[in-house]
């Protein structure tokens, strides 16, 4: 982000307040700081989608009377750091409006998650000269954090989520054993331990076993807390079939336990629905052959989210997921007649989510039968009608950084002569007599990044070396922080290298963009768009790196294209999707030729091409 952009955004920023956490127990960590106030940056709408024919559809809509006036009445998808997005939502009318929150945050597990991208085409037809090759990789995010930074990260976001949650709302936090015990303590502190804690749900699943000297780890935990302790939260009781052992012991489904007396009682067959659903859910993971798999590394099955949303919210309620990932929460909410807001810092997540929702809304538009909105979800009944058949995508605080972190770190170390240090849990290496800290490249350098360096140095009182901080972009207040810090420090001074604009070493990151040959013609009353060729240098380069001496040759340009979007009357600001060509299966190719009704004379036609690594190109032509 350049200084001009940052300054203009700061001038328009609002400040929102966040209440203190009052629960017990309270965790303590290095650098713990309550989040009392935070600046809320404006959002820029960048894309809008409406299912074909949705303008004439009769929807069983929710009550939109309390919806913020400046936002379209539909799904909201945000690209940006969720701290900025949550602050934006608080400043723009969503405080206390969200009825259910589900989050599946990074688990601090020490893993690098990659996006596996398969070139499009039937198996065996997409080949590279010299060797068959179908996969590339794109880093989605690095789940590698210092423990204290992770706790502060989650603490701040939980405090903001509590402010957005309605008094009758619920929050579900999905985690595994790596940080589950700490996250449970954070939830106790932020939401209260006593009656606000509702359940620890165990999601038990089967997967290919690992070669381990431990019992096989095949479950996740989901912590459920309510905002209030007065039982005002939604809960629709569900049932499951009794186990075979239960049936044998108690003689059939008609004998159930009286909750008040603890004794068995007899009920009629039609009164008995089965056993109340337990807090252990045996649901399968997404197998590779399932149609819902998107290729996103941490994708959760839609069956899991549908159970949470249908049981603990009502039709028309607002659902929020600020770690949207592959978009499962938004799709489940859309199918179950709920409104939704989602966000993610990763561009691949936003693109994956947008594709899923476009397909979902188009399918809902095609459905002829639309049950009443007030009906409860039953296993044998059709799903609820949607609250919306459109959504808009927004960007907050310009986090649209397209360089991938791991690749950029390797390039930066080579370019700057940094010796990597694998044994240091905090610093990434050394350069001459200086320690080196490489700030994650998915956001510009912030005071919080610098404070973490300061805290680490305080924990090393014998350390006298200066520190080189390597980053990609500066946040506006980070420069002043460094100047003030260095003015009062005789040792451990901070030196910052910004990889895009530094006069000595900046500008080394080169990117050859996606290119295409697109023909836009008017034939009678039709608009004909023909894509003749698409070249993705990034994909070609990556395949060349993987194959060594072999040079990648892709015979059909459609193999590198993930989807095509067309806006027939582009206004230069928001991309309104008139047509979306999103093949449902990896072996299918985009059409490449499209006929649409001709727009009014003088309209700007825009064609958006997204390749298999998520890079976007927009080609425009005035009709």
pLDDT in tens, 571-609: 988 999 999 998 877 788 999 999 999 999 889 999 999
Give rounded-to-5 percent helix, strand, coil for the chain. 25, 30, 45
| CA 440 to centroid of chain Cα atoms | 17
Note the Cα 537 to chain centre separation in Å. Answer: 26
Cα 333 to chain center, whole Å? 15
Q: Do the Cβ atoms of 39 and 14 come closer than 8 Å?
A: yes
Per-chain mean pLDDT for the chain: 81
Give the tens place of pLDDT for each residue, 301-351: 999 999 999 999 999 999 999 999 889 999 999 999 999 999 988 777 888
pLDDT digits (tens, 9 = 90+) for 403-444: 455 556 777 787 888 998 877 889 989 998 999 999 887 778
On the question of pLDDT at 353 being above 70, the answer is yes
| Strands annotated E in 208-316 | 219-226, 239-240, 255-257, 264-266, 275-276, 280-282
Residues 6 or more apart whose CB falls under 8 angstroms from that of 249 comprise none
- Is the model more confident about 345 or about 95? 95
State which H helix or E strand residue 6 sits in: helix 3-12
- Model confidence at 211: pLDDT above 70: yes
Query: What is the structure's pLDDT at 404?
Result: 52
d(CA 140, CA 404): 8
**Cβ neighbours of 379 (radius 10 Å):** 6
- Is the per-residue pLDDT at 291 higher than 80? no
Residue 57: its pLDDT value, please? Answer: 58
pLDDT for residue 127: 42
Contacts 24+ apart (CB under 8 A), 498-501: 498/445, 498/471, 498/472, 498/473, 498/474, 499/408, 499/412, 499/470, 499/471, 499/472, 500/472, 500/473, 501/2
| Residue 366: pLDDT band with limits 50, 70, 90 | confident
Q: What is the pLDDT of residues 507-545, one digit of tens each?
A: 555 567 889 999 999 888 899 999 999 998 877 776 665
Q: What is the pLDDT of residues 97-148, one digit of tens each?
A: 999 999 998 865 544 444 454 688 865 444 443 333 333 444 445 554 567 8
Give the three-class secondary structure for 16: strand
Q: What are the start-end ranges of the H helices in 276-400?
A: 302-312, 328-335, 347-366
**What is 515-622's CATH number, 2.40.110.10, 1.10.540.10, 3.30.70.1520, 2.60.40.10?**
2.60.40.10
Q: What is the mean pLDDT of residues 166-189?
A: 93
pLDDT digits (tens, 9 = 90+) for 435-480: 999 988 777 899 999 999 999 999 999 999 999 999 888 887 899 9
Calpha distance 315→333 (Å, rounded): 9
- pLDDT at residue 254 greater than cutoff 60: no
Which of 155-164, 261-270, 391-400 is the least confident region? Answer: 261-270
Which CATH number fits the domain 3-106+146-194+298-396, given the four candidates 3.40.50.150, 1.10.357.10, 2.60.120.10, 3.40.50.11900? 3.40.50.150
Q: Please check the confidence at residue 268 and state whether its pLDDT lies above 50.
A: no
Token duo for residue 570: 């582009």
**What count of residues does the chain have?**
623
The reported pLDDT for the residue numbered 551 is: 55
Bridge-based pairing state of the strands 467-471 and 494-498: parallel
Domain ranges of the chain: 3-106+146-194+298-396, 405-498, 515-622
| Segment 41-52 mean pLDDT | 89
Distance CA 283, CA 424 (A): 39
Residue 511 is predicted with a pLDDT of 61
């Amino acid at each position: 982000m350049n200084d001009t952009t940052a300054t203009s955004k700061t001038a328009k920023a609002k400040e929102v307040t966040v209440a203190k956490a009052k629960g017990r127990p309270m965790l303590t960590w290095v650098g713990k700081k309550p989040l009392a106030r935070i600046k809320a940056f404006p959002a820029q709408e960048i894309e809008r989608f409406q299912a074909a024919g949705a303008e004439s559809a009769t929807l069983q809509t929710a009550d939109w009377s309390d919806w913020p006036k400046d936002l379209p009445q539909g799904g909201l998808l945000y690209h940006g750091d969720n701290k900025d997005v949550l602050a934006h939502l608080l400043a723009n009318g969503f405080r206390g409006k969200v009825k259910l929150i589900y989050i599946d945050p990074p688990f601090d597990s020490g893993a690098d998650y990659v996006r596996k991208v398969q070139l499009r085409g039937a198996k065996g037809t997409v080949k590279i000269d010299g060797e068959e090759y179908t996969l590339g990789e794109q880093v989605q995010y690095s789940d590698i954090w210092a423990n204290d930074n992770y706790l502060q990260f989650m603490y701040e976001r939980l405090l903001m989520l509590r402010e957005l949650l309605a008094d009758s709302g619920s929050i579900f936090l999905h985690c595994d054993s790596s940080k589950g015990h700490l996250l449970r303590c954070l939830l106790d502190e932020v939401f209260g331990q006593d009656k606000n804690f509702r359940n620890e749900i165990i999601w038990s699943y089967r997967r290919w076993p690992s070669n381990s000297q431990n019992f096989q780890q095949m479950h996740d935990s989901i912590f459920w807390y309510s905002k209030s302790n007065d039982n005002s939260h939604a809960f629709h009781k569900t049932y499951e079939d009794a186990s075979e052992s239960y049936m044998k012991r108690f003689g059939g489904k008609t004998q159930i336990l009286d909750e008040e007396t603890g004794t068995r009682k007899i009920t009629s067959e039609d009164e008995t629905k089965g056993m109340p659903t337990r807090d252990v859910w045996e649901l399968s993971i997404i197998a590779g052959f399932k149609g819902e798999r998107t290729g996103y590394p941490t994708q959760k099955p839609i069956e899991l989210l549908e159970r949470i949303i249908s049981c603990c919210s009502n039709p028309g309620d607002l659902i929020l997921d600020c770690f949207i990932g592959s978009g499962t929460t938004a799709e489940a909410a859309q199918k179950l007649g709920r409104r939704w807001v989602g966000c993610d810092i990763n561009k691949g997540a936003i693109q994956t989510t947008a594709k899923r929702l476009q397909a979902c809304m188009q399918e809902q538009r095609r459905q002829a039968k639309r049950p009443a909105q007030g009906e409860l979800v039953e296993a044998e009944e059709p799903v609820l009608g949607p609250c919306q058949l459109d959504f808009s995508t927004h960007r907050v605080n310009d986090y649209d950084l397209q360089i991938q972190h791991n690749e950029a770190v390797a390039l930066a170390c080579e370019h700057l002569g940094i010796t990597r240090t694998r044994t240091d849990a905090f610093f990434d290496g050394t350069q001459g007599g200086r320690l080196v800290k490489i700030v994650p490249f998915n956001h510009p350098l912030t005071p919080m990044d610098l404070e973490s360096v300061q805290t680490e140095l305080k924990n090393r009182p014998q350390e006298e070396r200066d520190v080189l901080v390597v980053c990609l972009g500066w946040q506006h207040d980070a420069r002043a922080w460094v100047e003030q810090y260095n003015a009062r420090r005789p040792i451990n001074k901070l030196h910052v290298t910004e990889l895009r604009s530094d006069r000595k070493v900046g500008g080394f990151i080169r990117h050859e963009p996606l290119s295409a040959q697109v023909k836009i013609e008017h034939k009678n009353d039709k608009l004909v768009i023909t894509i003749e060729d698409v070249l993705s240098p990034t994909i070609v380069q990556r395949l060349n790196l993987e194959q060594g001496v072999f040079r990648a040759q892709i015979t059909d340009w459609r193999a590198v294209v993930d989807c095509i979007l067309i806006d027939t009357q582009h206004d230069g600001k928001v991309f309104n999707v008139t047509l979306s060509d999103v093949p449902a299966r990896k072996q299918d190719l985009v059409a490449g030729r499209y006929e649409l009704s001709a727009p009014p004379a003088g309209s700007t036609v825009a064609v958006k091409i997204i390749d298999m690594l998520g890079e976007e190109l927009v080609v425009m032509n005035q009709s």
